[in-house]
Amino acid sequence: MVRLYIPVNVRSPSFWLFTLQFGVMYLGSLLVITCLSFFLLGSWDYIPSVYGFILSVPDLTPNIGLFWYFFAEMFEHFRLFFLCVFQINVFFYTIPLAVKLKEHPIFLMFMQIAVISIFKSYPTVGDISLYMAFLPVWSHLYRFLRNIFVVSCVLIACSVLFPVLWHLWIYAGSANSNFYYSITLVFNVGQVGSTMGPLQSVYRPVH
């Protein structure tokens, strides 16, 4: 893999100036988007409806994510604790990945998108297809991958079984939520396998 290493020197004033510029750009963009949303809607109600909804997970409608089954079966007095544990996964891996992949910023972006897709409270197929569309970028690493055939079969089989088990559970009544959620777990394991392969091979020499 081609290295795009950006030297980081915490003692250099230019590094902190560079960091400050991007921090101001990010906060300024966020402020502009927030203010535009307020002017369009005329109230701040969109903040709990959009951001609060994602963080608090009030809707437990079954989906392809990991949240709905756990919180549907959980005692209410444990909800806040496990909500924090589940939501912190999106942020927990950022610093270790940034340190490990500091020489590969594009690959770091790919990994972050994949982590967000896997641990998002309400994931969609669009979230998964976004990061999987980047897989051909690292086609030169495919020869280092292990179990690529197994992972591909898992993802394809789960994609086929999702609507089947949903129909058996919701419409036919011959299955229950455990069947559907087991496919969800296997599907997310397949996602982890599809991203861990390139991550493990990123530091192997390519001749």
Does residue 93 form part of some domain? yes
Is 36 inside a domain boundary? no
Domain count, the chain: 1
The mean per-residue pLDDT over the stretch 101-122 comes to: 86
In a domain, 9, yes or no: no
Does 31 map to a domain? Answer: no
How many Cβ atoms are within 10 Å of 28's Cβ, its own excluded? 10
Q: How far is CA 130 from the centre of its chain?
A: 10
183 part of a folded domain: yes
**Which structural domain range is residue 195 located in?**
53-202
Q: Is the dihedral of CA 58, 63, 66, 68 positive or negative?
A: positive
pLDDT number for residue 200:
64
Mean predicted confidence (pLDDT) in 36-63: 88
CA atoms within 13 A on the CB side of 117: 23
Confidence of residue 206 (pLDDT cuts 50, 70, 90): very low
CA 191 to CA 197: how far, in whole Å?
A: 10
Residue 2 lies in a domain: no
**Does the global pTM surpass 0.85?**
no
| Residue 117 confidence (pLDDT) above 80 | yes
> Is 38 a domain residue?
no
Ramachandran class of 147: left when φ > 0, alpha when ψ lies in -120 to 50, beta otherwise: left
By CB atoms closer than 10 A (0-12, 13-18, 19+), residue 158 is buried
The pLDDT assigned to 95 comes to 84
Q: In this predicted structure, what is the pLDDT of residue 207?
A: 46
Say if residues 70 and 86 touch (Cβ distance below 8 Å).
Answer: yes
Q: What confidence tens digit (pLDDT) does each residue in 151-179 have?
A: 888 989 998 999 999 999 988 888 888 99
Which residues lie closer than 8 Å to 176 by C-beta, 6 or more apart? 169
Q: Is residue 33 part of a domain?
A: no
CA distance readout (Å), 124 to 27, 34, 63, 129: 27, 24, 8, 9
CA distance 122 to 106: 25
Question: Is residue 75 classed exposed, middle or buried when 0-12, 13-18 and 19+ CB atoms within 10 A define those classes?
Answer: exposed
DSSP assignment letter at 76: G
